[in-house]
Structure formats: C-alpha cells, structure tokens
Amino acid sequence: MIRFLSIRDLAVIDRLELELDAGFTILTGETGAGKSILVGALGLLRGARASSGLVRTGAERAVVEAMAEDADGGERVLRREVSARGRSRAWVDDRLVSTAALRSVGARLLDIHGQHEHQALLDPSTHLDLLDRYADLGPLRGSVRDAFAGWQGARQRLERARDRAATAVERAEIVALRLRDIDEVDPVEGEDETLAARRRLLANAERVHSLAAESYAELYDGDGAALDVLDRVWRRVEELAGLDGEFAPHLAARDTVRPHLEELAYALRSRAGGADASPGQLPAIEERLAKLEGLKRRYGPTLADVVAHRDGLRREREELEGETDLESLEAAASAAGERYAGLARRLSGRRRTAARELARAVEGGLGELAMERTRFEVVFLEAAEAEAGWTDRGVDRVELYFSANPGEDVRPLARIASGGELSRVMLALRTVISTDPPGRTLVFDEVDAGVGGEAAERIGARLHGLAERYQVLCITHLPQIAARGTSHHRVTKSVRDGRTLASVDRLDGESRASEIARMMTGTRVSGAVLESARELLSPAPPKPNRRAP
C-alpha cells in the first residue's frame, strides 16, 4: 500500500507531494489536467519504460519517489530518476538497482489497470491464461511445460539420430576414401623435416665430401695435422706446469678437448667417405616429399595435422560402423510424449471444471454491475490431439464468449462487446480472478469508460468493495463512482509565470460536493445540482442483493 508519493519535474508537475489513505481513493479533474501523469509516475515505479520527453522543460531530471507498506507490514522506499538525456536510474530502499529489479519489487506492491486491459480481452490468446489464473493451475501448468520441454528434447535427439543414420552410408564412403588416401602414403609425424634435411645433404653431396675430406686431413690425417700439433703443445704445457704452477689448471682441459676433436674427426671421415650420401637416393626422397606435401595441402597445414586427421577419421569410422540405437531413442520419445499427454489431459480436465465455475462467477459479478441477464461462457475450441498442436500450455485453446441480450446466442467477446460492456467484464474478471495479497495497491485508470447511470453506480459499489481488501486508486469522470470514494483528490492545471503547473488538492465536505456537482453538470453548478451532489455523498444505501454464482 502506497502511503506517500512525491513527484518532481515530471511533465507539467513541478513539485507534488501526496499522502494516500487506505481504502478507496478517488482522483478527478478536467480532461488534460494531469491525472494520467500521476498514473504514469506510478508506472515508472513499477518499471515502465522511461524517456526524456517525461522531463519537465528546463529541468535536468524528473524524480518519482514513493513510500509503500508491503504485505508483511514493512516499509519500502522506491525511487526512479529520468534525466533530460533519457537515462534512467532506480533505487529500492536507497540502494541503486536495475530497472528489472525495481519492476520485480514494484509488481509486488502495485498493479495498474487501464483501458488497455480492455484491449487484452480482445485478444483470445490471453483467455487461457485468465482461466488458469482463476483455477490456480500454475503448478500443474508448470509440470506440463516441463514435460513439453522433455518431449521436445527427446524428439530432437531422435530426429538427429535419424538424420545421422540417413547420411551414415554416404559419410562412411567419404571417410573410407580419405583414410585410403592418407594410408597409402602412411605419413609419420616429423618425417617431412627429416627428409628435407636429407634432400639438402644429397643435393650438396660433392661439396659436403670436399669440405669433410679437407677438414679431416687438416685435423687428423695430413702432414702437420692439428691433433699431432696439439699433442706436442700439451707435452710442452705439461713440462711448463712443472716449472710454473700457474699452468697446472690448464692441463685439466686436455682430457676433454681431445675426445671432442677425435669425435669430430670420425664424423668428418664418414662424410669424406661418402658412404651415406649417394645422389642416387635423391629422386626417391623428392617423390616422397611430394606425396607428403600433397597430404598437407589436403588435410594439413602440417604433417602433424595430417596424422591427427587420420586418427580422427579412424575414430569416426568406428562410430559409423557401430549401430545407432534408434529403438531406445524412439522409446524415450514415446515415453516423454505419453507423460506430456497425460499431464495435458489432466490439466484440460481441471480447466473444464474451472471454466464452468468461472462463467458462473463472472455472470454473478456482471449481475452486480447492472448486467443481470448476461450470459458468459468459456468455450473450448477443438483440442489439439495431434502432436503438431501440442504446446507448453497444453492442448487446449479457449475463448471467452458473451451475450448481453436475452435470446441471443453467446458469441466471441472480442467481436460483440461494447466499450462499456468490456469495462464491466474486465472489472468482474479482476474481482473473481484476483490472487493479490491484502493491502496491495490497485490503480484503475478510467475503467468506467463508456458506462453511466445504474451501471456506474454498480461499478462504484464494486470498486468500493475491492477497497475493503486492497488500497484502490481510481481516476474517474463519473460522479456516481467518485461519490463512493473514502477519500477524494482533485487534479487541476494552471498557468503561472508563463508555465503550466499541475497540482492535487484533497477535497472534504463542501469542496468535495462542489467537485461532484461539477462532474454532474460541468462548469455551471446550480444550488439544485449542489444539493444533488450532497445527496449523492450521503451514506450509501444498502448494496444490491448479490446474485448467487
């Protein structure tokens, strides 16, 4: 329940602070005075979309703030700011939150009903949701939704398996062809690098032989070979170390240097002999490298990629050769479908029972709104027996049917109801379907459009009855409804210093009678009209007998 509302720099509202009571609060005023701005301000606190056009000309930002009491008696403070650049920020209890978080909190505290709800009644796709809300079928409908998702998943897995089976033969041929292409060459990872090095050696075999032979001779086998010279050097250094101790540490390198040089000499001798460098091997190596390059172009880019691709093809061949267990998948899909169908039939049965109860309840509510002979039905259209018609809402399609005139068959509500009839049907539905906790704030924005006379009195009585459980705020142009309020505020618009300003005044006693009189006749208020307004505000007569549902 909203206790206090503060608005600053929103449209034509400069500064406005409004204390709201429990019960049935009436908001009246001339068309264009700014009543809808108040509703818009509450909508912002409920997370409605904001735009820079809402900000008062010349202001940096618009601010809407409300102190509300939740169902547990705790206080919540909601705040919404909209900048002139269109940016929006929200707070709950002085904590910055996202608009989605504000929408979640605001939806628990506040509900706004306007003429747009009449349009919702014109959309048959919403009628099933109304029935399910009335019958409190949320948990069962959730089970149906989960079963539908499970059935869809099982069907998709089965279809994918069938698709794979249909293409398995073709894919198996492709895999076999590629494996044969690779296995004919039978590559080994790193083989191309080894062969490239071998090709380089063979292509330069003569130069390699010459360099190796000359180096071997100078190091080991020729006159004045380096190893012979080195032996003489070590003998002199050994003798020198006996005379000068500083050379003794150098002798330690003698046992490591010579073995390395001897190993180098053996390698040079091998190359100089040309035993493994026959140029005749070059064509075979060239041919092998060409085959490896072809594989890399087709399955590479590296030989390691080719080998990995071959391993993957072998695994895929094994999978394709294994039988796909279509029977188990078909059984799983069938079981999931049976589970969904069972739950959907159960939900449909509950709906049909609730539909008859809802029709009686709405007819009773419409009887209290001066539509005593109205007929109202929840008509079930052809159920979707085939799987193609299954949905996450079940197999039912319903539409609200209506007849306001005796002797006339019921027809789709969306096609035959007038604006005033829709207003009353919506209010009757709102009453019988409501699952809101006590104390919640319900805002009705001109839901009385298109009605008058006795129907207006009945709507006023119904809204007054709702106010026994909820805080009801109602914007109206009808004196019969305004007179039912437990508190009354008037919205006026004026021009001050060239700027338009909207303000809200609380009305009591004669000021309220004057406003009711204005609503009855317009600007010209005679004494007789004022007296009629006072009479309208006098304690209401007993409520009309309730029509048994």
Provide the pLDDT for residue 376: 93
- Give whole-number Cα distances, 76 to 2, 175, 437, in Å: 9, 67, 16
Residues 150-174 have a mean pLDDT of 85
Between residues 436 and 507, the one the model is more confident about: 507
Q: What is the overall mean pLDDT for the chain?
A: 85
DSSP-based three-state secondary structure for 363: helix
Q: What is the pLDDT, as a whole number, of residue 449?
A: 67
Question: What local confidence, expressed as pLDDT, does residue 295 receive?
Answer: 92
pLDDT of 190 higher than 60: yes
pLDDT at 322: 63
The predicted structure's pLDDT at residue 408: 85
pLDDT value for 419: 66
Q: Give the pLDDT band (50/70/90) at residue 167.
A: confident
434: closest CA among 141, 136, 139, 138?
136
> Among candidates 54, 53, 31, 52, which has minimal Cα distance to 42?
54
Query: Each residue of 314-335: pLDDT tens digit?
Result: 988 887 776 567 888 899 999 9
* In the chain, % of residues over pLDDT 70: 92
Question: Tell me: the pLDDT tens digits for 272-287?
Answer: 766 555 667 788 888 8
Tens of pLDDT, residue by residue over 416-475, are 777 667 777 888 887 788 766 778 888 888 777 666 777 788 888 888 888 888 899 998
Please check the confidence at residue 476 and state whether its pLDDT lies above 50. Answer: yes
Please give the model's pTM, rounded to 2 decimal places. Answer: 0.57
Residue 120 has pLDDT above 80, yes or no: no
Residue 517 clears pLDDT 70, i.e. is over it: yes
pLDDT digits (tens, 9 = 90+) for 332-362: 999 999 999 999 999 999 999 999 999 999 9
Is residue 426 a contact partner of residue 402, using CB atoms and an 8 Å limit?
Answer: no
Rg (CA), the chain: 46
Angle between helices 138-185 and 326-367 (to 10 degrees): 160
Residue 42 in this model has a pLDDT that exceeds 60: yes
Which residue has better confidence, 489 or 497? 489
Q: Are 368 and 544 in contact (CB under 8 A)?
A: yes
- For the chain, which residues make up each domain, given as ranges? 1-113+439-549, 164-321
Tell me, what's the pLDDT at 67? 94
Q: At residue 309, does pLDDT exceed 90?
A: yes
Determine the pLDDT at residue 36.
Answer: 82
Q: What is the pLDDT of residues 66-97, one digit of tens each?
A: 999 887 778 999 999 999 988 999 999 999 99
State which of 100-104, 226-230, 317-321 shows the largest mean pLDDT: 100-104
CA distance 65 to 86: 18
Task: Say what the pLDDT of residue 44 is.
Answer: 92
**Is the pLDDT score of 495 beyond 90?**
no
Residue 112: the pLDDT is 78
pLDDT, residue 542, reads 45
Residue 396 has pLDDT above 80, yes or no: yes
Residue-level pLDDT at 549? 36
The least confident of 257-266, 401-410, 446-455 is 446-455
Beta-carbon contacts of residue 125 (< 8 Å; ≥ 6 apart): none
Residue 134: enclosing H or E segment and its boundaries? helix 127-135
CA–CA dist 90, 44 (Å, integer): 9
What token pair was written down for 97? 């939150």
Residue 546 confidence (pLDDT) above 50: no
- Most confident region among 129-133, 245-249, 253-257 by mean pLDDT: 129-133
- Provide the pairing of β-strand 110-114 with 441-445: parallel
Q: Is 35 helix (H, G, I), strand (E, B) or coil?
A: helix
Task: Enter the tokens of residue 360.
Answer: 């009686």
CATH number of the structural domain 1-113+439-549 = 3.40.50.300
